[in-house]
């Protein structure tokens, strides 16, 4: 079965293109009934408040929550990670409806505005061990969130160092007022909990398809032996050796 990509707003076309490079069909999902025809779902990056309003308009939240509860693989990137989180910190006035299911607290726009967007090499040992390739992955962060804390069933796949004084007081430690302004801490930028995967960055904006391959194999792991399991052709390895492409960050 095809992989669904929530196509309300954001980088859904880029995810579909990445899936195509792996020989897998990605289909746009905009209505609840379209979820019945896909084995797994990617919730892309974009503007999370806008995406939430459109999802509410199309009555998608009940169907998305049911999709998660059924144990089908769901991957949220950037705004999609916010959607999947059980709790979101720093929301706009009035809040934002969440799909939930991922036992974590996400800080919305933790890394700042569009002007603070950046790229960096992330250490990803679990990804490298399963998909091959280098021990690092080029993380593209655009108005990105960060995970502040996770529950016991959540596996941390990547983190990123930040100044401790960027964290909300309750996450800085027992004596935040006495911490040096130069003290460093870490925030989490990639997690997995059973059928749920979340990345604060945008793998779909790079030439490296290993996160997509990793996600596709989650379906096979969770549904081994089922006719719904996604089979990745052996001719499409998860890591395709290509020259590194530093994509521009487009500013308004």
Numbered residues of the known binding site for L-glutamine = 46-48, 108, 142-143
Q: Which domain holds residue 75?
A: 3-224
The answer to whether residue 247 sits within a structural domain is no
The pLDDT confidence band at residue 113, using thresholds 50, 70 and 90, is: confident
Q: What is the pLDDT of residues 176-189, one digit of tens each?
A: 455 555 678 899 99
In a domain, 220, yes or no: yes
Decide if 241 is inside a domain.
no
Do residues 88 and 106 touch, judged by C-beta distance below 8 A? yes
Q: Tell me, yes or no, whether 246 lies in a domain.
A: no
Please report, for the domain that includes residue 138, its CATH number: 3.40.50.880
H-assigned helices in the chain: 12-21, 48-57, 61-69, 79-84, 125-131, 210-222
Q: How confident is the model at residue 244 (pLDDT cuts 50, 70, 90)?
A: very low
Total number of domains in the chain = 1
* Per-residue pLDDT, 124: 98
Residue 93 has which token pair?
A: 């006035």
CA-to-CA distance for 204 and 157, rounded, in angstroms? 17
Q: Please indicate, yes or no, if residue 251 is contained in any of the structural domains.
A: no
Question: What confidence category does residue 170 fall into, taking pLDDT thresholds of 50, 70 and 90?
Answer: confident
Choose among 1, 13, 250: nearest CA to 142: 250
Residue 211: which of 120, 128, 147, 154 has the closest Cα?
128
Main-chain phi, psi angles of 176, to 5 degrees: -60, -30
Judge whether 230 lies within some domain. Answer: no
What SS3 state is found at 204?
A: helix
Q: What is the pTM of this model?
A: 0.84
Banded model confidence at residue 235, pLDDT cuts 50, 70, 90: very low
Q: Do 249 and 142 touch, CB atoms closer than 8 A?
A: yes
Domain annotation covers residue 233: no
Q: Is residue 107 part of a domain?
A: yes
DSSP state of 233: P
Beta bridge partners of 163: 184
Q: Which residues are annotated as a binding site?
A: 46-48, 108, 142-143
Q: Which residues are catalytic?
A: 78, 202, 204
Residue-wise pLDDT tens digits, 27-74: 999 999 999 999 999 999 988 888 999 999 999 999 999 999 999 999
């Amino acid at each position: 079965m095809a992989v669904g990509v929530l196509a309300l707003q954001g980088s859904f076309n880029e995810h579909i293109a990445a899936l195509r490079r792996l020989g897998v069909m990605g289909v746009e999902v905009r209505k609840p009934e379209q979820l019945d025809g896909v084995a797994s779902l990617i919730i892309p990056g974009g503007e999370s408040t806008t995406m939430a309003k459109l999802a509410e308009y199309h009555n998608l939240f009940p169907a998305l929550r049911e999709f998660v509860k059924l144990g089908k693989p769901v991957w949220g990137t950037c705004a999609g990670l916010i959607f999947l989180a059980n709790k979101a910190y720093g929301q706009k006035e009035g809040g934002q409806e969440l799909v939930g299911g991922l036992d974590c607290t996400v800080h919305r726009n933790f890394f700042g505005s569009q002007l603070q967007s950046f790229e960096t090499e992330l250490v990803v040992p679990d990804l490298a061990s399963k998909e091959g390739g280098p021990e690092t992955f080029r993380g593209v962060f655009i108005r990105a969130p960060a995970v502040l804390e996770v529950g016991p069933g959540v596996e941390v796949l990547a983190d990123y160092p930040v100044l401790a004084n960027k964290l909300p007081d309750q996450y800085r430690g027992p004596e935040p007022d006495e911490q040096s302004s130069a003290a460093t801490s870490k925030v989490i930028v990639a997690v997995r909990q059973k059928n749920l995967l979340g990345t604060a960055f945008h793998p779909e904006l790079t030439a490296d398809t290993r996160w997509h391959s990793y996600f596709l194999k989650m379906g096979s792991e969770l549904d081994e032996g089922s006719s719904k399991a996604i089979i990745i052709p052996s001719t499409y390895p998860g890591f395709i050796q290509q020259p590194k492409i530093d994509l521009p960050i487009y500013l308004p």
